[in-house]
Amino acid sequence: MAMKLYGDEMSACVARVLLCLHEKNTEFELVPVNLFACHHKLPSFLSMNPFGKVPALQDDDLTLFESRAITAYIAEKHREKGTNLTRHEDSKEAAIVKLWSEVEAHHFNPAISAVIHQLIVVPLQGESPNAAIVEENLENLGKILDVYEERLGKTKYLAGDTYTLADLHHVPYTYYFMKTSHAGLINDRPNVKAWWEDLCSRPAFLKVSPGLTVAPTTN
Amino acid sequence: MVVKLYGQITAACPQRVLLCFLEKGIEFEIIHIDLDTFEQKKPEHLLRQPFGQVPAIEDGDFKLFESRAIARYYATKFADQGTNLLGKSLEHRAIVDQWADVETYYFNVLAQPIVINLIIKPRLGEKCDVVLVEDLKVKLGVVLDIYNNRLSSNRFLAGEEFTMADLTHMPAMGYLMSITDINQMVKARGSFNRWWEEISDRPSWKKLMVLAGH
């Protein structure tokens, strides 16, 4: 039986898993969860993810939440097919993949998701963005991207010469970020820009990006 | 040659790595990086950790930063030694990863600014954001309710055995329990309190507290 992924294609965290599924050529069924109708807060969904967030995954008896735990599971279960996303065959290289995955989790994600939340999600809730939060997080993101610019001057991808989960995890929020008026943070850094353009050329990205349909109403 | 851990032994992220070393019986050497004088922001340390944070490790030629990546590397490298921190099957490992990620995205995002405002800032003579802290405590209560429910039917976060999912919470929990009203929030949640009392009774935690001067 194919894996079931619960969520909506426009969710960045759902897209993170969709990218992984396509990179690994894994069959799956996307079970829609209506976020605007708050179906992710209903008991039926909370029984899969008590924190009430998409995505959730069901694979036979296993139910999982947290998009990056899900991508790690898919990448390991299907390690022998599709793109090698984890460099599992060498423990030191696998650790470098984990290192840059942690950098995404603890440095990149907090800054970029705060900007996306203010510029895309908050207007959808009928509120105005908090300019101070946007400004502070753009400044943080710039400093983080300076580190990335130096790193990507030495390696083609974050964890080395091949595309891994460390790169993949960045894609959905960066895609939304590039729709805002602050895309210069990426475009003004040549190595980061080249890396981003490479990520956007991948077949898995071309399948997933059409579903990332929300856009900033204000910048 | 033993692994060198660059960091301050009282800081939460180096403690995460040290707990892993202690659980796995891995020999280590701590090279002190003094956070009170911002040694972590100086050029020599930025070569080890470009974001100017601790810890970083050097193990022969191999270098790594990000405490959770370091802990995972050593838990994998020494899988057959000491406590099994990663999980036994593919599915169990996924559940361990899930709750370890919960620590990052739900627990640490609240615990870290609480600890920074109530413990670190006073030490550095800086002003605490009282309004922020009160808001964070309310959100923490909601998150701890979910943990309490999980731990009412599971001895540990990923099931019946202690794993990385539990370990990764411990350094911040140690700090939070020194804050009176958070200590009370924990004690008011029976299963969560039972879990904390059990994991803080582990020899690795007690050894770490001695090393950290408690």
Does residue B199 carry a pLDDT above 90?
A: yes
Is the same domain home to A102 and A193? yes
Is the same domain home to A42 and A108? no
Is the same domain home to A110 and A18? no
**B95 close to A (CB below 8 A):** yes
Is the same domain home to A58 and A159? no
In a domain, A218, yes or no: no
Between A66, A106, A150, which is nearest B98 by CB?
A: A66
The edge-to-edge listing of strands for the beta sheet with A3-7 is A28-32, A3-7, A56-59, A62-65
Residue A169 — very low, low, confident or very high, per pLDDT cuts 50/70/90? Answer: very high
In a domain, A9, yes or no: yes
**B105 close to A (CB below 8 A):** yes
**A91 close to B (CB below 8 A):** yes
Is the same domain home to A15 and A55? yes
Angle at A28 between CA A23 and CA A32, to 5 degrees: 115
Residue ranges and CATH numbers for the domains of chain B are: 3-82 (3.40.30.10), 90-208 (1.20.1050.10)
Q: Model pTM?
A: 0.96
In a domain, A219, yes or no: no
**What's the structural domain count of chain A?**
2
Most A CBs within 10 A among B101, B110, B144, hence the mutation to make, goes to B101
CB contact under 8 A, B66 and A106: yes
Please report the sign of the dihedral spanned by the C-alpha atoms of residue A120, residue A124, residue A125, residue A126: positive
If 0-12 CB within 10 Å is exposed, 13-18 middle and 19+ buried, where does residue B171 land?
buried
Containing domain of residue A170, as a range? 91-203
CB contact under 8 A, B76 and A106: no
Residue B214 — very low, low, confident or very high, per pLDDT cuts 50/70/90? Answer: confident
pLDDT tens-digit map of B148-176: 999 999 999 999 999 999 999 999 999 99
Does a cis peptide bond (omega within 30 degrees of 0) precede residue B43?
no
- Segment B170-193 shows an average pLDDT of 97
In A, which residues are within 8 Å of B104 by CB distance? Answer: 105-106
In a domain, A52, yes or no: yes
- Segment B113-142 shows an average pLDDT of 95
Is the same domain home to A181 and A104? yes
ipTM: 0.94
Residue B38: count of CB within 10 angstroms of its CB: 12
Most B CBs within 10 A among A67, A96, A99, hence the mutation to make, goes to A99
Residue of B nearest to A143 (CA): B51
In a domain, A115, yes or no: yes
In a domain, A216, yes or no: no
* Residue B156 vs residues A37, A88, B23, B91, B153: alpha-carbon distances, Å: 34, 27, 16, 16, 9
Is the same domain home to A127 and A32? no
pLDDT tens-digit map of B25-83: 999 999 999 999 999 999 999 999 999 999 999 999 999 999 999 999 999 999 999 99
Q: At A85, list the tokens.
A: 């996303």
- How far apart CA A118 and CA A23 sit, in angstroms, is 30
In B, which residues are within 8 Å of A65 by CB distance? Answer: 98
Is the same domain home to A103 and A154? yes
**B106 close to A (CB below 8 A):** yes
Is the same domain home to A123 and A180? yes
CATH number of the domain where residue A109 is located: 1.20.1050.10
Is the same domain home to A65 and A124? no
pLDDT, residue A219, reads: 54
Is the same domain home to A75 and A142? no
Q: Which residues, other chains included, contact A192 with Cβ-Cβ below 8 Å and sequence gap of 6+?
A: A145, A148, A149, A152, A186
pLDDT, residue B55, reads: 98
* Residue A179 vs residues A104, A173, B13, B172: alpha-carbon distances, Å: 20, 10, 35, 37
pLDDT tens-digit map of A205-219: 999 999 999 888 755
CATH number of the domain where residue A33 is located: 3.40.30.10
**Buried residues in A98-110 as b, exposed as e (16+ CB within 10 A):** bbbbbbbbbbbbb
Between A51, A94, A147, which is nearest B51 by CB?
A: A147
Is the same domain home to A98 and A74? no
